[in-house]
Amino acid sequence: MLKRIFLFVFYCCAAALNGNEPKSLLLEAESFTNSGGWVVDQQFMDQMGSPYLMAHGMGVPVEDAVTRVTFPERGVYRVFVRTYNWTSPWYAGEGPGRFTVRVNGEQVGVALGSNGDKWKWQEAGTVKIDNNHAIVSLNDLTGFNGRCDAIFFTSEDIIPPDEPVELEEFRRQYSTLPSKPDDEGDFDLVVIGGGIAGTSAAISAARLGLKVALIQDRPVLGGNNSSEVRVHLGGRINMDPYPALGDVVKEIGPSLGGNAQPAGHYEDHKILGVVRSEDNISLYLNYRAFAVGMEGTEIANVTARHTTTGKELTFSAPLFADCTGDGTIGYLAGADYNMGREGKDEFGEDTAPEKGDKMIMGSSVQWYSVEDSLPSFFPVFSYGIDMNELNSQKVTMGEWTWETGMNLDQIKDFERIRDYGLLVVYSNWSFLKNDRLTKNEYLDRKLEWVAFVAGKRESRRLLGDHILTEQDIRDYVLYPDATVTTTWSIDLHYPDPENTKHFPGQEFKSIAKHINIHPYPIPYRCFYSRNVDNLFMAGRNISVTHVALGTVRVMRTTGMMGEMVGMAASICKRHSANPRDIYHDHLEELKELMKAGVGKYETGDQQNYNLGGTLGPRE
């Protein structure tokens, strides 16, 4: 804290010594008024401090990002750019993410983004500003994911800092980041995470009369089922003992199945339309929750930052639902959680390893190509992954089996995990197009889509009053608080042994091992935190072991979780209760709501895909 105060005073004094206004300008790249072909990437804000712009052109340079800025005064400015050579973990030379900064159409100094091995400020050169107003642009040179976090123009003797604490103070001093967040007011329930689970929770609670804030850090809803990630829904809905659970999932889910399909398959407009039709939901797209205010063992408020403007809002409520997948809100609130695989010695699960470890299921960067009418060029891409006739994948698309990061931390190492997914897609496609003996088969094919938002399967699992285990499911242990029925097999992923032969420790392909189950109702006690008193959770971050996660993580199942959590939240409001009180005092009331459901529209079940196999009803 003393260091933060010192830095703040230092920057303020530096500005004061140079006049009333600092002679410097910090321009956040994500705030450009026209992002052109660059995309806003917010996935790693918690690790590197900010969203950034990325030139995701799949080997084709993208259109310039452009914005208009006002400089403090005319004169000569040194120009620093915070960027990252993203292939540096695998390749020691110059990387492929090159771009330049232009002011009023003129290039400033050298190309950036291809040197160094971490996020850092690179000095581009100097620029003379003859008019206080200028046009600043980012000019992509390669189409291979060059990235820019911020640009700092200074006529003072200032070197921008790289350390996270110093950098945060620096941002607030020199950019337009607010000194404090705006109070967005009080809600009955704040849902953080707009995937299928979070969206279903918001809809369910709103239809039962709650005033709901739904916070989502992307411009679309649906999470892994959105057009950004393109994973189709899995599992069955409308199952006994509560066949009305799943009605909301029917309303918001796309009618077409398939992974890594064209964007229209995922019907982003449908889920967004349903949410916007609910008068009790206030939707906050492009807001990333990053801070939690506590009062004892309860969350008092959550603060979120807009991913392009930097605007911050604080949301207060008696109840919160963590539907982030990563358990981010629970983590910030000090909730108990697990990561990795439990050993047999912990729960006695047959499928668990003898000793616990950090291995978990990975993330997928999906992609596909299309046949073009003319020969299609793809640049040679070779940055540390050597493809050859034996180890390359002779395919025209990659879906869930293209999975990375099983041996890494899916939170702390997530940018590296996603980047490795991009690296292997480009490396393999380059070999198919340019070097493979059968390259003529790919002559007219071009990359049509590569995800830059990675589809994550597993990270933190927040712990509730009950931790669901493999024995619960396989022995069909029925608890009095049975709720949402999971139907998917216990589906766990492991590195593909064939891929391991060629890329030991750096696998990018996976296999799945399935254990079929009888449809199993999950105990309600898995859906609230055991030590943060007003926190619900729905999605892949509920209270389960690694093995049990294998069945509950598919999205029709998580959608039903959201529906049930919304119902439980309405009971909490009615009785001024906390989530745990439902189990002890109001369980029958929850059961009645689950029987009735919250379906609003007569929607036929068009989702007859990816249902998964089960052993059938248990006698």
pLDDT > 70? residue 615: no
Beta bridge partners of 213: 190, 282
Strand stretches in 346-389, DSSP E: 363-364, 367-371
Strand stretches in 496-604, DSSP E: 510-515, 520-523, 535-537
pLDDT > 60? residue 36: yes
Query: Across the chain, what does the average pLDDT equal?
Result: 94
> What is the band of 603 on the pLDDT scale with cuts at 50, 70, 90?
confident
The enclosing H or E element of 216 equals strand 212-216
> What is the band of 581 on the pLDDT scale with cuts at 50, 70, 90?
very high
Tell me the mean pLDDT in the region 316-341: 98
Q: What pLDDT score was predicted for residue 604?
A: 75
Q: pLDDT tens for residues 329-381?
A: 999 999 999 999 999 999 999 999 999 999 999 999 999 999 998 999 999 99
Residue showing tokens 């002011």: 103
> What is the band of 18 on the pLDDT scale with cuts at 50, 70, 90?
very low
Tell me the mean pLDDT in the region 457-486: 98
Tell me the mean pLDDT in the region 180-205: 97
Tell me the mean pLDDT in the region 20-33: 87
Q: 298 phi and psi, to 5 degrees?
A: -120, 150
> What is the band of 455 on the pLDDT scale with cuts at 50, 70, 90?
very high
Distance CA 177, CA 161 (A): 17
Q: What is the pTM of this model?
A: 0.95
Q: Kindly list the strands in the beta sheet with 182-186, ordered across the sheet, starting from the edge strand earlier in the chain.
A: 182-186, 312-316, 298-306, 287-295
CB 281 within 8 A of CB 215: no
Q: pLDDT tens for residues 134-146?
A: 999 999 999 999 9
The enclosing H or E element of 330 equals helix 328-332
